[in-house]
Structure 1
């Protein structure tokens, strides 16, 4: 937001120390704020930047504000972020910022000058995958709709009528029981903690952040149950850096209780008896962050084209192949039925074919 507000700094050395004067334009008028009494000019500069930041954070633009007339999508992102502060998760912010970085030329054009033809050209010429292009454009569409609805910056959205490349449905990658056994044996020998995490992914279908967020309080070894309550994830700080800690799950559906097979019960029991150190917040896997690069690095030593998330896919497809109904699979995965049907469409189609055959067997009997 700072770069949207016309401003200038002036510094004076007085008998009481250095003074910084911030002149800035708001509501079409020039205003001033100042701080003084600093022993060094560098301290006065830092104080001036802080003043500007405070003004920017509290700045509420209006449709008539001159600053809004030729605002770019990149600049409007700062306003949208403030307006939607309570609704935007850290993950969503990352997606928006990645989208702006990926289509920087588009996002630096004043909104009134954005045309559907230009946006279509950007879509057509992008080297990104079709699904990523559509995802990023959907974020721009939401922002522009907000600019129209709340600030009346445009009469019509230039995003309307954009045609996206066809998304080729990729077949879900899974691994066989033999492949997992090889992977588990390698990890158990070389990276014991990671072997246990992999087992949770394979036998319970948890997302990586959910695995990393498990505590002994959420695991009932006697009842053979896992309770998914929180996840270990990345948070954006006020300084725009990141910290990792326990937080809310991905969606409301993600909170669930999962029955664990005897094999997983045994693996977790052995891990608990080994008395591996527990994180200060109670997590049973003492990880500094929630990134998957380390575990994926070790997985690829055995299965080069595999990642930790493939174990979740394997869990889901195994249940579907064994005849577990889609609603139950969705509940165990913490997904919606619609998501499961879309993601595992090939398996759900196979279930429908099997159902058709069963119906024939049932009703065609003489």
Structure 2
């Protein structure tokens, strides 16, 4: 077996050493890359912010009513709870037998007086002809004319009574003033309904808005037509102030607010949180709330420099509005702050930016 010469052994040793050094260098680079922390960043920017107070609101229907009987009588039929009724549709019927009889009597009175008035008109015309030929007394003619005028007045009164009885007869059908659903039966078929007694409750499930109660300090920021935001199940929506009632409740000292709803699936009775500005907006340096790192000792953020190194910067938070919060400290507009992945970061650690959060 041939043995290596001294020069060959030297070359072999050099190649082996170079290979080991190259492998260690590649491993170090791989290890360094694997230690880079993946993060998501957003830019600090100057924004118009104002402190916000949250008030509880409830989705209500703009059209809801308790429908009352307009005539007394026994209920023959009442719509079921949940029934959908069009505007003008019948929701309850009251026994109308007696009212129909009364209406027939009023019609007969009108017909009788019309017949008498017709006779008096003919009699007056006949007497006028006789009076012109001195064959009838003037007093007799005047008496007929008086009776005719009286019959005319009686006819007007009888027609008024007929219209009243017809209106009462029509009111035995309790009709819906708007399109909606029956939410409650306050009286059932077979029960006696007095005039003015509530029979059913109705609600329009489509014509909805938010009802809330706010403090007096919020009124200057809630002019009719102003845009406000509100939250439902973690989602943020925007609506317009439809009306505010500048008369406070005597107990709670709060003022009623009505806010229109955007298009979507809304249900009567849903709860929302209305965000109302508590001061005039001002321009401040702000970052997303998620960028704050809360510790017992201090509040800070991680700023990523051009070399992808994260630096801890202590900040003092200020006013907050929606997802943004004001910060004061060694931070400048355009600085990239970590919004995701900063929980276990260390000052000076290498990071890998995987995306940017919203800066709107």
Larger Rg: 2
The TM-score with structure 1 as length reference comes to 0.19
Q: Which has the higher strand share?
A: 2
- Larger RCO (CA within 8 A; separation ≥ 6): 2
TM-score relative to the length of structure 2? 0.20
